[in-house]
Amino acid sequence: MVRLGQNFLADPNLLDAIVRDAELGEGEVVLEVGAGEGVLSERLADVASHLHSVELDRRLEPALEPLAARKNVSLHWGDAMKLDLAAFEPAPTAVVSNLPYSVATPLILRTIEQLPAVGRWTVMVQREIAERLRAAPGSRTYGSPSVIAQLACEVRLIRKVDPAVFKPRPRVDSAILGLRRTGPGADPSTHELVRAAFSHRRKSLARSLEHVRPGSLGPARAALEELGLAADARAESLSPDDFAALSAKLRAGA
* 3 domain residue, yes or no: no
Per-residue pLDDT, 83:
98
Asked which of 181, 203, 228 is the last residue of a domain, the reply is: 181
Question: Are 136 and 74 found together in one domain?
Answer: yes
pTM of the predicted structure, to 2 decimals = 0.93
* 1 domain residue, yes or no: no
Question: Are 162 and 235 found together in one domain?
Answer: no
The residue range of the domain holding 238 is 188-253
pLDDT band at 165 (very low <50, low <70, confident <90, very high): confident
Question: Are 195 and 177 found together in one domain?
Answer: no
Per-residue pLDDT, 108:
98
Per-residue pLDDT, 101:
87
Ordered DSSP codes for 116-139 = TT--EEEEEEEHHHHHHHTPPTTS
Q: What is the CATH number of the domain that holds 201?
A: 1.10.8.100
Residues 6 or more apart whose Cβ sits within 8 Å of residue 228: none
Asked which of 154, 181, 208 is the last residue of a domain, the reply is: 181
Neighbouring C-beta atoms of residue 23, cutoff 10 Å: 12
Question: Are 164 and 206 found together in one domain?
Answer: no
Question: Are 118 and 199 found together in one domain?
Answer: no
Question: Are 177 and 192 found together in one domain?
Answer: no
Check residue 170 and report its DSSP letter.
P
Going by C-alpha positions, the residue among 164, 58, 54, 40 that lies closest to residue 110 is: 54
Neighbouring C-beta atoms of residue 179, cutoff 10 Å: 24
**Is pLDDT at 131 greater than 90 in this prediction?**
yes
pLDDT band at 172 (very low <50, low <70, confident <90, very high): confident
With b for 16 or more beta-carbon neighbours within 10 A and e for fewer, the 104-120 pattern comes to bbebbbbbbbebeebbb
Average pLDDT over residues 199-224: 95
Q: What is the CATH number of the domain that holds 16?
A: 3.40.50.150
**Is pLDDT at 211 greater than 90 in this prediction?**
yes
Average pLDDT over residues 64-79: 97
Per-residue pLDDT, 1:
31
Of residues 143 and 170, more confidently modeled = 143
Question: Are 24 and 73 found together in one domain?
Answer: yes
Average pLDDT over residues 191-220: 95
Average pLDDT over residues 134-155: 97
Domain count of the chain? 2
Strands (E) located in the chain: 8-9, 29-33, 50-55, 73-77, 94-98, 120-126, 153-161, 166-167, 174-181
Question: Are 153 and 199 found together in one domain?
Answer: no
pLDDT in tens, 17-50: 999 999 999 999 999 999 999 999 999 999 999 9
pLDDT band at 2 (very low <50, low <70, confident <90, very high): very low
Question: Are 94 and 20 found together in one domain?
Answer: yes
Per-residue pLDDT, 164:
81
**Is pLDDT at 144 greater than 90 in this prediction?**
yes
Asked which of 181, 210, 237 is the last residue of a domain, the reply is: 181
In order of 38, 208, 234, the CA distances from 221 in angstroms are 52, 11, 11
Per-residue pLDDT, 167:
74
**Is pLDDT at 155 greater than 90 in this prediction?**
yes
Average pLDDT over residues 1-8: 49
Q: For the chain, what is the mean pLDDT?
A: 93
The letter for the amino acid at 98 is N
* 2 domain residue, yes or no: no
Question: Are 14 and 103 found together in one domain?
Answer: yes
Question: Are 43 and 132 found together in one domain?
Answer: yes
* 109 domain residue, yes or no: yes
Per-residue pLDDT, 177:
98
Per-residue pLDDT, 6:
59
* 13 domain residue, yes or no: yes
pLDDT band at 129 (very low <50, low <70, confident <90, very high): very high
Question: Are 32 and 57 found together in one domain?
Answer: yes
pLDDT band at 5 (very low <50, low <70, confident <90, very high): very low
